[in-house]
Amino acid sequence: MSALEALGSPRLAVRSPGGAATMARVTGPGPVELGALTVTLEERADGWGWSVANAGGDPVALECVRLEWDAGPLGGDARMLRHGYQSWSPTGVARIGVDRDPSATPGSIGLVRGMHHADSAVVADPHELRSELVTVLALTPGSPLVGLGFDAGAGHDGTFRVRPDTGRVAVAAEAHLGGAVLAPGAERRLHGVTVDEGDDASLLLEAWAARAGQAGGARTGAPYQVGWCSWYHYFHDVTEAALRANLARSAGWPFDVFQLDDGWQRHIGDWLATNDRFPSTLPELAGSIAAEGRRPGIWLAPFLASPGSELAAAHPDWLARWDEQRPLVGMVNPGWGGAVHTLDTTRPEVLAHIEHVAAELVAAGFTYLKLDFTYAPSLPGRFHDPARTPAERVRAGMEAVRRGAGPDAFLLGCGLPLGAGIGVVDGMRIGPDVAPHWEVRPDQWVPPGYDGVEPATRNAWRNTLSRSFQHRRLWLNDPDCLMLRAAETDLSPDAARVWALAVGVSGGMALVSDDLALLDGGARRLLDEVLALGRAADAEAASGRPPRCDDLLESDPPTRLTGGGARLVVDLTGPRATISR
Ligand code: 9PG
């Protein structure tokens, strides 16, 4: 029996933005008519392929195409691995029929929903759970786990939805097109969906990542990355003096990369000039870093522009729009003076500009680019070319960066929808920001429903374990920076160690983000321990076996990670780590 045949009473649905779904039963492979649209399903040994065509005489805006089926009775302890949409989106297990989608939280904010899901709308049923790009379902005790995954994410987003339905479980695979217009006579291929069974969630996820990475030309060959980053000590207040002081202290530290983070730029959007805290030019800064034998790295948010930027003043038409009056807000950040706008990456002149910026930064000497807030063009809004999907808008921008930066630059995706990054980025932030504290602070403002995305080392920890299967299959995982300092932090020494060991055993990128003046011999020994663990786990991942988390479906956050011959177990009540080799 093929995977398609195995699905219980499958139904196809298409929906236009704001409209009701048109549905039809599926009796087998072949074309299914849904109003003016025809969806064609192809049977594959491991799932299905599909495409959608507009047979009518008018353009059709398509929100989504969905295949939904009955996955059997809802057991007592049915679970879904919820894989997050972008770098910062939480990934972890949820209980079907018990847990709720965060969008259903009263007061949830549209921009936050748009940032963390393919579909920014509030779920129709609060007990519907969703996972982006890939998932694992544990539906009935004693039955195999089901792994579901989209082949790719560059052409459109893909969401799996699970819903309790009168004692049964309804599962849907949804190609999210975000209102992209299909011209009369046009046809669009959709990313295929694979269905897999097994008894080990990590193995199902690894197999999916291996396939998706191979099909998408994943860039997995960069060496193990060790470096320094300015963000988690200096934040927005970084100065050239602070950068130079750390550079001067870095002799004897094993950093390859020295990366300047947010805070150097004249304005969000104006990436070729420094602000008053940085008297030197960009080539001078890169030259000073290179002179110390480090690779110069720099942060930018290539798809954003603040209202006060030269870019927005010179090219108001380059901004995507919310409506006739207002440009599309891509982020609200007090550190940047409030709301900033989103570039319209469906305009060739915008892509040429992004390419130029990347080329200039690399020419200045910054061959490592941290590309942040890159979800922005996926937000719902009005774009010049309405035929592009949200994923295509992100992808076009990322490809423009790659064209400008050249094949040898190291590109780190951050805030990036994961599917759109495969094959473009060398490294990917796979979790929320760490912070000099473990839990979200009681005085920290949290967008309703989305506490798991807020800066907190516990939140970063969760994704470092739950997304460990992606390392060297889709890119190099960046778990976010180590927090080594014992002063100017609320992390206990145990918590700092828990986090450091997780970074190590994950085999992911290892960046220090402290004022080096605060680090003593203990911090240095911890770093050396992390790097030894990290190099071993990374080498094992490079040879085909990424680190493994064996309580992924049991605990959120998970507590166990094995890699490079080391086993990390964490008691989260401390938190406190035990490591065995
Ligand atoms: C610089 C920082 C650092 C950090 C990035 C990113 O959802 N949020 O409001 C949100 C704001 C900032 C943020 C992540 C999420 O941090 O991850 O490493 O580069 O930008 O501004």
279 phi, psi to nearest 5 deg:
-65, -25
Position 6 pLDDT exceeds 90: no
Nearest CA to ligand 1 atom 11: 333
- Could you tell me the distance, in angstroms and rounded to a whole number, from the CA of residue 460 to the centre of ligand 1? 12
- Could you tell me the distance, in angstroms and rounded to a whole number, from the CA of residue 481 to the centre of ligand 1? 12
- Could you tell me the distance, in angstroms and rounded to a whole number, from the CA of residue 286 to the centre of ligand 1? 23
Nearest CA to ligand 1 atom 8: 454
Position 1 pLDDT exceeds 80: no
CA pair distance 233, 503, nearest whole angstrom? 18
CA pair distance 493, 496, nearest whole angstrom? 5
- Could you say which of 261, 344, 372, 556 is catalytic? 372
Closest ligand 1 atom to Cα of 262: 1
- By three-state DSSP, how is residue 116 classified? helix
Tens digits of residue pLDDT in 338-380: 999 999 999 999 999 999 999 999 999 999 999 999 999 999 9
Can 551 be counted among the known catalytic residues? no
- Could you tell me the distance, in angstroms and rounded to a whole number, from the CA of residue 333 to the centre of ligand 1? 9
Phi-psi region of 472 (alpha: psi -120 to 50; beta: other; left: phi over 0): left
Written as six digits, the tokens of 5 are: 């045949």
Nearest CA to ligand 1 atom 2: 262
- Are the C-beta atoms of residues 42 and 87 closer than 8 Å to each other? no
Phi-psi region of 488 (alpha: psi -120 to 50; beta: other; left: phi over 0): left
Query: Per-domain residue ranges for the chain?
Result: 3-216
- By three-state DSSP, how is residue 102 classified? helix
Tens digits of residue pLDDT in 394-419: 999 999 999 999 999 999 999 999 99
Query: Would you give the distance in Å from CA 474 to the centre of its chain?
Result: 12
Give the bridge partners for 64, in sequence order. Answer: 15, 176
Nearest CA to ligand 1 atom 13: 433
Closest ligand 1 atom to Cα of 112: 7
Q: Estimate the share of the chain in helix, then strand, then coil, as percent rounded to the nearest 5.
A: 30, 30, 40
Other beta carbons within 10 angstroms of residue 207's beta carbon come to: 19
- Could you tell me the distance, in angstroms and rounded to a whole number, from the CA of residue 414 to the centre of ligand 1? 8
- Are the C-beta atoms of residues 129 and 80 closer than 8 Å to each other? yes
Closest ligand 1 atom to Cα of 454: 7
- Are the C-beta atoms of residues 179 and 392 closer than 8 Å to each other? no
Written as six digits, the tokens of 178 are: 């975000």
Determine the residue of 336, 374, 433 to mutate for testing ligand 1's pocket, defined as the one with the most ligand atoms within 8 A of the Cβ atom.
433
Question: Rounded to two decimals, what is the model's pTM?
Answer: 0.98
Other beta carbons within 10 angstroms of residue 264's beta carbon come to: 22
- Could you say which of 119, 256, 261, 433 is catalytic? 433
Closest ligand 1 atom to Cα of 332: 9
Determine the residue of 113, 231, 233 to mutate for testing ligand 1's pocket, defined as the one with the most ligand atoms within 8 A of the Cβ atom.
231
Q: Which residue is listed with tokens 């800066």?
A: 455
Position 241 pLDDT exceeds 80: yes
- Could you tell me the distance, in angstroms and rounded to a whole number, from the CA of residue 436 to the centre of ligand 1? 14
- H/E element holding 168? strand 168-182
> Sign of the C-alpha dihedral, residues 349, 350, 355, 358?
positive
- Compute CA distances 181 → 41, 185, 398, whole Å: 21, 12, 22
Nearest CA to ligand 1 atom 14: 433
CA pair distance 252, 248, nearest whole angstrom? 10
Determine the residue of 414, 478, 513 to mutate for testing ligand 1's pocket, defined as the one with the most ligand atoms within 8 A of the Cβ atom.
414
Nearest CA to ligand 1 atom 10: 454
- Could you tell me the distance, in angstroms and rounded to a whole number, from the CA of residue 86 to the centre of ligand 1? 12
- Could you tell me the distance, in angstroms and rounded to a whole number, from the CA of residue 30 to the centre of ligand 1? 45
Tens digits of residue pLDDT in 539-563: 999 999 999 999 999 999 999 999 9
pLDDT of residue 141: 86
Determine the residue of 232, 262, 450, 457 to mutate for testing ligand 1's pocket, defined as the one with the most ligand atoms within 8 A of the Cβ atom.
262
Nearest CA to ligand 1 atom 3: 231
420 phi, psi to nearest 5 deg:
-75, -10
- Could you tell me the distance, in angstroms and rounded to a whole number, from the CA of residue 296 to the centre of ligand 1? 20
Nearest CA to ligand 1 atom 17: 433
Position 420 pLDDT exceeds 80: yes
Can 200 be counted among the known catalytic residues? no
CA pair distance 483, 437, nearest whole angstrom? 10
Averaged over 225-233, what is the pLDDT? 98
Nearest CA to ligand 1 atom 9: 333
The closest of 487, 458, 483, 485 to 574, measured between CA atoms, is 458
What residues does ligand 1 touch, defined as CB less than 6 Å away? 88, 231, 261-262, 299, 372, 414, 433, 453
Closest ligand 1 atom to Cα of 415: 17
Determine the residue of 117, 333, 372, 444 to mutate for testing ligand 1's pocket, defined as the one with the most ligand atoms within 8 A of the Cβ atom.
372
Nearest CA to ligand 1 atom 20: 372
pLDDT of residue 3: 81
Tens digits of residue pLDDT in 285-343: 999 999 999 999 999 999 999 999 999 999 999 999 999 999 999 999 999 999 999 99
Written as six digits, the tokens of 450 are: 């989305």
> Sign of the C-alpha dihedral, residues 388, 355, 268, 84?
positive
Tens digits of residue pLDDT in 438-493: 999 999 999 999 999 999 999 999 999 999 999 999 999 999 999 999 999 999 99
- Could you tell me the distance, in angstroms and rounded to a whole number, from the CA of residue 191 to the centre of ligand 1? 30
- Could you tell me the distance, in angstroms and rounded to a whole number, from the CA of residue 433 to the centre of ligand 1? 7
- Are the C-beta atoms of residues 32 and 26 closer than 8 Å to each other? yes
Averaged over 210-216, what is the pLDDT? 98
Tens digits of residue pLDDT in 59-110: 999 999 999 999 999 988 999 999 999 999 999 999 999 999 999 999 999 9
**pLDDT > 90 fraction of the chain, expressed in percent and rounded:** 96
Nearest CA to ligand 1 atom 4: 433
The closest of 111, 117, 496 to 332, measured between CA atoms, is 111
> Sign of the C-alpha dihedral, residues 556, 581, 507, 253?
positive
Give the bridge partners for 529, in sequence order. Answer: none
CA pair distance 356, 389, nearest whole angstrom? 24
Position 142 pLDDT exceeds 90: no
Position 573 pLDDT exceeds 80: yes
